[in-house]
């Protein structure tokens, strides 16, 4: 193929598909390249897609009988865990039953494939119905650079040329490194391994056990014993007839503490509360993938250079500030904003940094970078050992005493809390966390 595209997108994950959708709607001629057999076949997430950007991308997506998503979230739970107990903050509200939903659980192999179908519909409706493509089974070996400007890609012996390239290859960002936007070696300090099982149930059992109604669903995050002292946390999300259960564990911390992620997952599953939760289920898939922590120190040096933009996890756009683990929504918004910048570049006939820097500004003006910037303290705090171990331990210790009735004179809660703090932490450590916490959230 000699013809030149307006844009080549590398990677048909959420960022790449959102970019492709935006380009198709703006009548751009593009090529979306995916190394897997189909969009989503290489992708893993927990995971909940938060926010309402999906409704902008696929209006009234919830009306489809079998959309790519599993369940909408109307039940949130944050669980502190010690070896024997769990103490949860639990919020459920029919307020969240309204569309557009504020979060939907997805399984990427299904969701991305469905979204790719929607993108293909937009391509078919565009001026370039016959000249824009989603191409799968192709591994991009190199982004072609001429005078330090991206001009296309190479796969094997074949080259495809374009005025611009959007790199949305995910967190293992080899092309990002190749074009010089990130160092060749990224240390493990702010990277975690996500590890997950999809566990299937009889649908009635699932709906009864998690109090699900129709397509409503629950998200549950875990801190403390879940990761057995390793930086990170656990998660449980309800799918249609299964749950996604897993952990994220800091790679550097596992290295130093000599822990193995699949052992950690078994320890988590053996916790008495989790055992009760997963009883009767059947594991149907085991998966793992690296995620970034949301610490800005791991982000690429820059998000663009002449002819090329970084979207989604290839730019390490992901964050857990304690309220939710967000990444797929960041991917979607960054893909949209990246593609909008490419549309502008075509209008101006200028695909250099002079135009592409507007992507960085658009991202900075959006909730994505605003949240990443505003919640850095929370990200640091969540990865602090006091927060990972001492706080869950003392909360569970307090809970055990608070809820124990033994027909002896009962101590006031304040006294119980003092004892738990003394046993598991110190006022000084908690004050530090408290000050930081008040500031960071």
**Beta carbon nearer to another protein, 160 or 398:** 160
- Tell me 403's DSSP state: T
99 binds another protein (CB under 8 A): no
E strand intervals along 25-82: 30-33, 48-50, 69-81
Residue 139 near residue 282 (C-beta atoms within 8 A): no
Residue from 4, 139, 370, 423 touching another protein (CB under 8 A): that is 139
Residue from 18, 28, 44, 387 touching another protein (CB under 8 A): that is 44
Query: By CB under 8 A, what part of segment 274-293 binds another protein?
Result: 275, 278-281, 283-290
The span of 91-99, 131-139, 212-220, 347-355 binding another protein (CB under 8 A) equals 131-139
Interior angle at CA 259, CA 236 and CA 324, nearest 5:
30
State the nearest-atom distance from the C-beta of 210 to another protein, in Å.
Answer: 16
174 binds another protein (CB under 8 A): yes
Residue from 27, 102, 172, 384 touching another protein (CB under 8 A): that is 172
188 binds another protein (CB under 8 A): yes
385 binds another protein (CB under 8 A): no
Tokens of 369: 């970078």
The span of 78-86, 248-256, 349-357, 363-371 binding another protein (CB under 8 A) equals 248-256
Interior angle at CA 121, CA 116 and CA 123, nearest 5:
90
- Tell me 157's DSSP state: T
**Beta carbon nearer to another protein, 237 or 330:** 237
CA 214 to chain centre: 25
Residue from 29, 42, 305, 360 touching another protein (CB under 8 A): that is 42
State the nearest-atom distance from the C-beta of 259 to another protein, in Å.
Answer: 7
d(C-alpha 29, C-alpha 72), whole Å? 34
251 binds another protein (CB under 8 A): yes
Question: From residue 388, how far is each of 37, 68, 224, 351, 415 by CA, in Å?
Answer: 39, 34, 5, 45, 24
Tell me the helix, strand and coil percentages in the chain, rounded to 5.
Answer: 40, 25, 30
d(C-alpha 48, C-alpha 14), whole Å? 12
Query: By CB under 8 A, what part of segment 106-125 binds another protein?
Result: 107-110, 112
350 binds another protein (CB under 8 A): no
The secondary structure of 291-321 as a DSSP string is EE-S-GGGS-S-SEETTEEE-GGGGT--EE-
Residue from 269, 296, 323, 401 touching another protein (CB under 8 A): that is 269
The span of 39-47, 81-89, 209-217, 429-437 binding another protein (CB under 8 A) equals 39-47
- Tell me 63's DSSP state: G
Burial 170-194 (b: 16+ CB within 10 A, else e): bbebebbbbbebbeeebebebbbbb
Residues 190-229, one symbol each (x = binds another protein by CB under 8 A, - = not), give -x-xxx-xxx------------------------------
State the nearest-atom distance from the C-beta of 151 to another protein, in Å.
Answer: 22
Q: Which residues bind another protein (CB under 8 A)?
A: 35-37, 40-45, 107-110, 112, 137-139, 171-172, 174, 185-188, 191, 193-195, 197-199, 242, 244, 251, 254-255, 258-262, 266, 269-270, 275, 278-281, 283-290
């Amino acid at each position: 193929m000699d013809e030149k595209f307006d844009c080549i997108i590398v990677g048909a994950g959420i960022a790449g598909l959102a970019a492709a959708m935006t380009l198709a709607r703006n009548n751009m001629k593009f090529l979306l390249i995916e190394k897997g057999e189909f969009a989503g076949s290489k992708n893993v997430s927990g995971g909940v897609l938060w926010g309402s950007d999906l409704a902008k991308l696929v209006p009234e997506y919830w009306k489809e009988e079998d959309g790519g998503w599993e369940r909408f979230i109307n039940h949130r739970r944050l669980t502190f865990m010690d070896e024997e107990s769990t103490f949860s903050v639990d919020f459920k509200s029919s307020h969240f039953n309204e569309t557009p939903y504020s979060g939907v659980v997805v399984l990427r192999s299904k969701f991305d494939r469905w979204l790719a179908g929607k993108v293909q519909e937009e391509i078919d409706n565009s001026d370039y119905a016959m000249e824009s493509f989603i191409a799968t089974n192709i591994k991009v070996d190199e982004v072609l650079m001429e005078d330090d400007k991206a001009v296309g890609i190479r796969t094997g012996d074949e080259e495809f040329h374009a005025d611009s390239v959007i790199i949305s290859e995910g967190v293992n960002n080899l092309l990002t490194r190749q074009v010089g936007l990130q160092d060749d070696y990224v240390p493990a300090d702010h990277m975690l391994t996500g590890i997950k099982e999809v566990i299937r149930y009889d649908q009635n059992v699932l709906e009864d056990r998690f109090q699900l109604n129709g397509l409503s669903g629950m998200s549950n995050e875990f801190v403390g014993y879940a990761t057995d002292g390793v930086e990170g946390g656990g998660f449980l999300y309800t799918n249609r007839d299964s749950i996604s259960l897993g952990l994220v564990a800091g790679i550097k911390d596992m290295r130093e503490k000599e822990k193995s992620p699949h052992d950690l997952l078994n320890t988590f599953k053996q916790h008495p509360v989790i055992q009760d939760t997963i009883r009767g289920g059947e594991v149907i898939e085991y998966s793992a993938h690296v995620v970034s922590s949301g610490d800005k120190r791991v982000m690429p040096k820059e998000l663009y250079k002449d002819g090329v933009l970084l979207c989604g996890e290839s730019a390490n756009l992901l964050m857990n500030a304690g309220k939710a683990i967000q990444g797929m929504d960041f991917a979607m918004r960054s893909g949209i904003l990246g593609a909008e910048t490419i549309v502008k570049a075509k209008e101006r006939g200028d695909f250099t940094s002079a135009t592409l820097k507007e992507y960085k500004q658009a991202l900075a003006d959006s909730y994505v970078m605003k949240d990443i910037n505003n919640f850095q303290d929370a990200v640091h705090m969540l990865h602090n050992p006091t927060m990972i171990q001492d706080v869950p331990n003392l909360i569970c210790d307090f809970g055990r005493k608070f809820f124990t009735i033994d027909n002896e004179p009962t101590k006031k809660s304040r006294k119980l809390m003092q004892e738990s703090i003394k046993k598991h932490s110190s006022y000084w450590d908690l004050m530090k966390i408290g000050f930081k916490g008040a500031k960071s959230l």
